[in-house]
């Protein structure tokens, strides 16, 4: 009888833990308001799809899983302040579903709660670059240069008549940066392979990594 009581108590505790997770009362810390830092003493700031990060040296901003998505970095060469956006779509009015990165909508958020954690203004090129510039200029950034990585054509089904999201992202970002008179001084775009990147704020260098390829610095 005693063993059965202990079993019942254990089941009650497990049920309570489950309810805490569902209601948000769990003591587990949730990183929804700022990019996750993997270790307390690490200079690395992670930027996921549809997110943006603005910081200064000596930090490193990393972003992974680039398919048709494009990472844009904007950097002040004098003050060593920089921002990175992991852009998923060319503009807000584009309603195409991005097969590589997903598109934030109610249906996707029900399937995967991670969609709800993305910052909406960083998902599309037009609002992402505007947000980066606003943040950077509020910190005193003036001498700005840009770099681009990503925009791959991940599926062979895309033809010239249907260039796919990657090429659309590249075209939109270049147009916006040209309009803002921010020169693009480095890029690693297109192709049919995924990429991971690191943006080093102490130098402005961007390191691009891809499976089966040598690391590239731009």
Domain boundaries, the chain: 1-30, 38-217
Could you identify the residue written with the tokens 């309009």? Answer: 179
From residue 22, alpha-carbon distances to 26, 41, 118 in Å are 8, 31, 20
Q: What is the mean pLDDT of the chain?
A: 76
Report residue 62's pLDDT band, with 50, 70 and 90 as the boundaries. very high
The CATH architecture of the domain made up of 38-217 is 2-Layer Sandwich (3.30)
With a cut of 70, say whether residue 14 has pLDDT above it.
no
pLDDT at res. 2: 53
From residue 11, alpha-carbon distances to 3, 4, 21, 28, 61 in Å are 12, 11, 16, 20, 43
User: Per-residue pLDDT tens for 153-181?
Assistant: 877 655 555 668 999 999 999 999 999 99
User: Per-residue pLDDT tens for 111-134?
Assistant: 544 444 445 789 999 999 999 999
With a cut of 60, say whether residue 81 has pLDDT above it.
yes
In angstroms, rounded to a whole number, what is the distance separating the alpha carbons of residues 38 and 40? 7
pLDDT at res. 120: 75
């Amino acid at each position: 009888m005693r063993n059965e009581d202990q079993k019942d108590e254990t089941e009650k505790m497990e049920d309570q833990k489950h309810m805490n997770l569902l209601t948000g009362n769990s003591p587990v810390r949730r990183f929804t308001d700022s990019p996750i830092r993997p270790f307390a003493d690490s200079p690395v700031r992670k930027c996921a799809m549809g997110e943006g990060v603005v910081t200064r040296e000596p930090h490193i901003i990393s972003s992974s899983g680039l398919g048709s998505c494009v990472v844009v970095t904007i950097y002040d060469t004098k003050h060593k302040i920089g921002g990175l956006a992991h852009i998923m779509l060319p503009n807000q009015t584009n309603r195409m579903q991005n097969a590589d990165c997903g598109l934030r909508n109610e249906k996707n958020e029900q399937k995967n709660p991670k969609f709800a954690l993305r910052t909406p203004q960083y998902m599309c090129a037009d609002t992402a670059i505007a947000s980066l510039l606003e943040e950077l200029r509020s910190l005193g950034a003036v001498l700005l240069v840009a770099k681009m990585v990503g925009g791959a054509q991940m599926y062979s089904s895309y033809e010239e008549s249907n260039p796919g999201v990657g090429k659309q992202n590249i075209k939109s970002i270049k147009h916006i940066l040209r309009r803002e008179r921010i020169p693009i001084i480095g890029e690693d775009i297109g192709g049919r392979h995924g990429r991971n990147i690191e943006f080093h704020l102490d130098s402005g260098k961007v390191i691009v990594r891809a499976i089966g390829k040598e690391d590239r610095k731009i």
